Amino acid sequence: GNTGLLVANEPRQKRLAALVGNLERCGAYNTLVTSISGAKLARSFHNLFDRVLLDAPCSGDGILCKDRHMLSFWSPEDAQKKCTLQIGLLRAAFHTLRPGGRLVYSTCSLSTEENEDVLLGLLKRYKGLVQIQAVTQVQDGGLASEIGAQYPALLSGCSRVWPHLHATEGAFVAVVGKLGETEWDWVEPDPHPLLRRSPIAVDADPDDWSQRLKERWDFEPEIPAGYELVPQGRQLHLRSAEAAQLLERPWYVRAGMRVATLHKGHYFLSQQAVALWGEQAHQRRLDVDWSQTQSLFAGEPCAVSSPNLTGEVICFHDDIPLCRAVVSSGGDRIEGNVPKVARTNQLTRLLP
């Protein structure tokens, strides 16, 4: 993991916090988060990405089995409007894909207007450059023969998840390959320095944040080549060194991953920093048993016997770093710092 660069675009501001939270929960620091219309993003990224996922906005008719209230918002006219939007997004996404790359177009709609008709819009623009690849992972995902016959045979490789056959919500997926370079009408300044295949030589920690963390946690964080530690407000981030060149771009939101938060003069390690660097900790390491691990993940304090190690620690179970925690001054009680999104009262196992 954390090789290459993952660009995640979310045009809706109110959904950005959830996107950033999910990226950090997964420990991804090779990230660039952007917020702009997908069509406008194609102005900056040309024939570039190895993989593109377009989870297109749609009418949502595929989830009627879960929420019949959605039917009150659906109409043929709305599906046609969505089709126009989806064609523009798919053409833009296809342009950002490099020749030989792979694009996945997906919706939670089952209608041909929002799926096959959208692919026809792509073929109309880039006919000789589009390769529709077969989706083999879904069984019985095709259209009825009389409907499928209305479309080019190459679209038969697309697939649907049918609620009545697969016992889940409905969805559509198409895998698209690219056979040559495309052009875009509007070209903005090139952000490609961030996307170089080889890391550049940089001063990874010009402000010596590593030493400050070492003074507290007895280890100096390993900073991957091409990355740097930078303060952003009350937070410390690990990000690509080239991201500094993109701060003024209108679509830029953030790059990298939060690794610590400043509070009362002290940087508290984030959960993702514990996962990334926790194994480097030795002096401030506390091993806990399975019962204590379950309590930590339930968000509950538990009893410990740690007379010689108090204050902030990193908890481990079977050599797996779990979380940052605080041992009471008496060394007999511990309170964990497992994020709310990861807490559970039904923990049965840990995955390394």
Could you list the active site residues?
Answer: 108
Q: Which residues contact 70 (CB under 8 A, 6 or more apart)?
A: 60, 61, 63, 64
Backbone dihedral angles phi then psi of residue 177, each to the nearest 5 degrees: -100, 165
How far is residue 3's CA from residue 276's CA, in Å, rounded to a whole number? 14
Task: Give the β-pairing of 159-161 and 171-178.
Answer: antiparallel
What angle do helix axes 116-126 and 76-96 make, rounded to 10 degrees?
40
**The two three-digit tokens of residue 78, written as one number:** 């709305």
How far is residue 39's CA from residue 92's CA, in Å, rounded to a whole number? 5
> What stretch of H or E contains 275?
helix 271-277
How many C-beta atoms surround the C-beta of residue 43 within 10 A? 19
Contact 39/88 with Cβ under 8 angstroms? yes
How far is residue 22's CA from residue 102's CA, in Å, rounded to a whole number? 23
The residue type at 246? L
DSSP 189: -
How far is residue 88's CA from residue 92's CA, in Å, rounded to a whole number? 6
How many C-beta atoms surround the C-beta of residue 282 within 10 A? 10
How far is residue 36's CA from residue 252's CA, in Å, rounded to a whole number? 9
